[in-house]
Amino acid sequence: MSATSKAIIKQLRSLGTDKNLAGMARFGIATEKAFGVPHPALHAIAKQHRKDHALALELWESGYHEARLLAAFVDDPKRVTRKQMDAWVRDFHSWDICDTVTGHLFEPTPYAFDKAYEWTRSKREFVRRAGLAMMAWLAVHRKQEPEETFVGFFAAIEAVADDERNFVKKASSWALRQLGKRSKFLNKQTAASARRIARAAGASGSAPGARAARWVAADVLREITSEKTLARLAR
């Protein structure tokens, strides 16, 4: 590990507090190997080390929670490889690491769509969440993509909408809601997808996952058919 990495980790350790650690735990964030550093402090450090790929790799390998968040902020998406993405996603063990890395670092890469589909098919909880999170981020950030590009996401999400694990269930809803808020066209497609999920859950009765699927469908429809969402899309 370089002197820079060592100095950063020492700084992170000094910035952490028990209060922040307790707050992280309350929000379901894994605090093993965490210092409890507030996000504004992380962003301040990141500004000093932009596009430093080698540093990002070292910070990630340290295994410390905040160091891995920093790795996502300082790495260069243009230098990220498929191999790195697969290696890092296997290390995900907390929703905030998953969502930060996919949103800040992986989504801008040329491999984002492929990985979104691939990871959503995984049986591992945070790998699957990573795929769903990627779909959500792509729907938000890829403004120039044709709307038809996103249609394939619906079948992929519907296939896992009955996953009862909390971090997957919420990510399924998140991905669908972002699709439904992107355009009028995708709003209609999303509503149809949510209703398919609800019908499948109703048909399966008390089968495992039916409750999760019903929750996903209701959560999605509540937001994408709201007056606020429809009014924004109409504008």
Domain ranges of the chain: 1-75, 93-235
Q: What is the pLDDT of residues 155-181, one digit of tens each?
A: 999 999 999 999 999 999 999 999 999
Q: What stretch of H or E contains 3?
A: helix 3-15
CA distance 22 to 34: 11
Tokens matching residue 111: 């491999």
Q: Which candidate, 121, 99, 123, 119, places its Cα nearest to that of 111?
A: 119
Residue range 88-107: mean pLDDT, rounded = 97
CB burial of residue 123 (10 Å; 0-12, 13-18, 19+): exposed
CB–CB of 87/120 below 8 Å? no
Per CATH, the architecture of 93-235 is what? Alpha Horseshoe (1.25)
CB–CB of 140/100 below 8 Å? no
**pLDDT value for 88:** 98
Q: Could you say which DSSP state residue 64 is in?
A: -
- Determine how many CB atoms are found less than 10 A away from the CB of residue 167: 19
pTM: 0.95
Which of 155-159, 187-191, 199-203 is predicted with the least confidence, judged by mean pLDDT? 199-203
CB–CB of 20/36 below 8 Å? yes
**pLDDT value for 223:** 98
CB–CB of 25/49 below 8 Å? no
What three-state secondary structure class fits 165?
coil
Percent of the chain's residues with pLDDT above 90:
95
Which of 15-19, 102-106, 192-196, 203-207 is predicted with the least confidence, judged by mean pLDDT? 203-207
Q: What is the pLDDT of residues 59-91, one digit of tens each?
A: 999 999 999 999 999 999 999 999 999 999 999
CA distance 56 to 79: 11
